[in-house]
Amino acid sequence: MAVTLTESASGRVREMLQKRGHGEGLRVSTKVSGCAGFAYEVDYADEINQDDSVFESYGVKVVVDAESLERIDGMEIDYVQESLLNSGFDFRNPNVKDSCGCGESFTV
């Protein structure tokens, strides 16, 4: 399987990387956090490590470390812009069994 971006998310990441001027792609990982167990971390991938998995969607690389991959394998990331002040990434993770009330953390 893979971690993929929608066309909208790929376009947003491409814009961010161009504005920044460098980077390999988008790094997506998980960390222990919140009341449900894990939270997503999203950052620029400035390098690709030996244990990383690299997926490509619409010409944009998604870089995931081996430990996080088991929790997010099969996830699709979308970019949603509801208004000028309300936009962001939407994580569609088929591995999530439960999440906290505020939506900040999840359990697999």
Q: Which pLDDT score is estimated for 108?
A: 73
Q: How far is it, in rounded angstroms, from Cα 83 to Cα 67?
A: 35
Q: What is the pTM of this model?
A: 0.87
pLDDT category, 105, cuts 50, 70, 90?
A: low
> What digits encode the pLDDT tens for the residues 3-57?
999 999 999 999 999 999 999 999 999 988 766 688 889 999 999 999 999 999 9
Q: How far is it, in rounded angstroms, from Cα 26 to Cα 30?
A: 13
Q: Which pLDDT score is estimated for 26?
A: 97
Q: Measure the CA dihedral 94/95/97/103, to 10°.
A: -70
**CATH placement of domain 4-107:** 2.60.300.12
- Using only C-alpha atoms, what is the Rg of the chain? 14
Tokens of 76: 């699709």
Q: Which pLDDT score is estimated for 102?
A: 57
Tokens of 22: 């460098």
Identify the residue with better confidence: 106 or 101.
Answer: 106
Q: Which pLDDT score is estimated for 60?
A: 97
3-state SS, residue 33: strand
